[in-house]
Amino acid sequence: MMDVEDVSRVFQGLEDALQKVEVARGDAKQYAEQSEAFMQHLQGVSEQIEGSDPRLAAFGHKLSQEETFASKSSELRSLFATKPEARTFNSKY
């Protein structure tokens, strides 16, 4: 069984790995690499975390935000890759 410090290190490792994914958002190749590294790390520690740990909910929220970003980015990239005329739209952003 892991002690409090071990569990804290696991969560800090997950936070660090997810932060690397977030930082890489502007570079699709690096984003994919960091995402893969994060998923491998997550799989490696998933059994070490108790489902009742309150930090899991907060981390799950951050993870769902990143999943939403990845999903929307993928949709936009596929739209631009398949419809070159879509690149000329006006946006208020």
* Full-model pTM: 0.68
The stretch 62-70 carries a mean pLDDT of 87
- What are the tens digits of pLDDT across the range 1-29? 677 888 889 889 999 999 999 999 888 89
Contact 37, 16 (CB under 8 A): no
What count of residues does the chain have?
Answer: 93
Q: How far apart are CA 25 and CA 11, in angstroms?
A: 22
Q: How far apart are CA 27 and CA 2, in angstroms?
A: 37
Residue 67, both tokens: 């999943």
- DSSP class of 49: S
